[in-house]
Amino acid sequence: MSATTLLVALGALVLGGVLAMLFDVTRGTPLSRVVTDDGRQPPSVDEPAFLEAVEGYLGASLTPGHRLALHCNGDEIFPRLWRDVAAARRFVLVQIYYCQEGAVADALRDALVERARAGVEVRLLLDGFGSSLGDAYLASLRDAGVRVAVLRPLRLAHIRRLMHRAHLRAVVIDGEVGWAGGFGIADKWLGDGCREGSWRDSAARFEGPAVRQLLGAFGVCWAEATGELIASASWWTPRDPATRDGARAAVLFAAPTVGSTASERFHALTISGARRSLYLTNSYFVPDDDFRRLLCDAAKRGVDVRVLTPRSGSTDVPMTYLAGRARYEELLESGVRIFEYAPSMIHAKTIVTDGAWCTVGSMNADNRSAALNEEVNLLVHDAAFGAELERVFHDDLGRAAEIDLEQFRHRGIVQRGLEWGAHLLARIL
């Protein structure tokens, strides 16, 4: 083989690898509609067939027997979380995407160190992109006996997985208490979420069979980061038979795949199952064509569809904000109502449908969560929890401004150009 032929072959190989990586990090998801074989509407969220479909398509076992509590903002989340950690007797597992040094990080370190020194098994799993905790901070944890691991660190050897982040938030205490939500370990989550600089967020604390599912999600990510698949008896002790009392719930662990993803299927089933109302709060609202079509179809059939998302001055990712607004007209024309939260950055990721089918977690309404990231959401079918989520949603709307279609149509050409340009990058934002 001549030198020229060899160089051409190597060049083609490199180009092929670059293109394969490019197609991977910009891929979308294929699901476009929800259908039935008899032409009727898909089952509503209150029908048994809906819950069966959720279990079958998402691999999430919706079992009864759960105690649930919704906690909003740092003032409610962190004090309760630290008490749970302090009460641990066997193990504490924490996986958090976003971590930044400060008062909240110090409180986490103190809580984990105290339990580790008391002989409790403590593990902390961080994302290589989302965490900026320094070496000294991590060393103080390790010196106290805390097992610390970093998932997909930013190294050349891991470049293929650079766009695939473990975006989830998961805390498991003794296999009995679980936490899921959108909060991070950073000082901007402190406060009541009603003033500038205090991020508005939601988290679910739960007890019951779904905690074991959250434990499994953590274990899968820990195995990737360390090579250790943990089968300790302390983790997987036989559980008591589930009681029929309490809310029906499950943990959805959504991981990227080549084709349709659990995140995509969840949203499609939920929107198609809405009959009266669908209230969606999301910090990064950039739904793709099919997601928007499902929302528009729901509004056209009479569902009260409302979306709550950040305003321009509060969002921490302006490009995402612009990309989402590029398609507001399509949604508004179909009857979808869109509100922008005024006091601060709203970072919650919740949905409540027909007052009973709910979710709280880390999953955003964008392509990154649908196709590229690991996410964890608590799924709940319960009227009491749904009523609480609806109450919080309407309370948030009292601090939000609704987008008026006619006014929105008169925005300037520069603004339109910025939105159009941002939307071209929607799959990677």
Please give the pLDDT value at position 113.
98
Give the predicted TM-score (pTM) of the model. 0.94
Residue 361: inside a domain, yes or no? yes
Q: Quick one: pLDDT at residue 20?
A: 44
Percent of the chain with pLDDT over 90: 84
Residue 32: inside a domain: no
Find the range with the poorest average confidence among 183-187, 212-216, 312-316, 336-340: 312-316
d(CA 49, CA 211) in angstroms, rounded, equals 24
Torsion angle of alpha carbons 181, 186, 191, 193, nearest 10°?
-50
Contact 148, 142 (CB under 8 A): yes
Q: For residue 367, what is the domain's CATH number?
A: 3.30.870.10
Per-residue pLDDT, averaged over 70-92, amounts to 98
| 217-252 confidence digits (pLDDT tens) | 999 999 999 999 999 999 998 776 656 688 999 999
Mean model confidence pLDDT for the chain: 93
> The domain containing residue 305 runs over which residues?
41-228+247-423
Do strands 121-127 and 337-341 pair parallel, antiparallel, or not at all (unpaired)? unpaired
Residue 184, H or E segment: none
Pairing of strands 147-151, 121-127: parallel
Q: How far apart are CA 48 and CA 52, in angstroms?
A: 6
Closest CA to 245 of 207, 279, 216, 192: 207
What's the pLDDT at 427? 85
Phi and psi at residue 21, to the nearest 5°: -65, -40
Q: How many angstroms separate the CA atoms of 323 and 410, rounded?
A: 18
Please report whether residue 13 resides in a domain.
no
Would 287 be classed as within a structural domain? yes
Asked if the structure places residue 234 within a domain, the reply is no
Give the pLDDT confidence score for residue 179 in this predicted structure.
98
Structural domain includes residue 14: no
Q: Among 281, 370, 29, 40, which Cα is nearest to 50's?
A: 40
Domain assignment present for residue 16? The answer is no
* 242 located within any domain: no
pLDDT in tens, 295-351: 999 999 999 999 999 999 899 999 999 999 999 999 999 999 999 999 999 999 999
Q: What is the pLDDT of residue 11?
A: 61
Structural domain total, the chain: 1
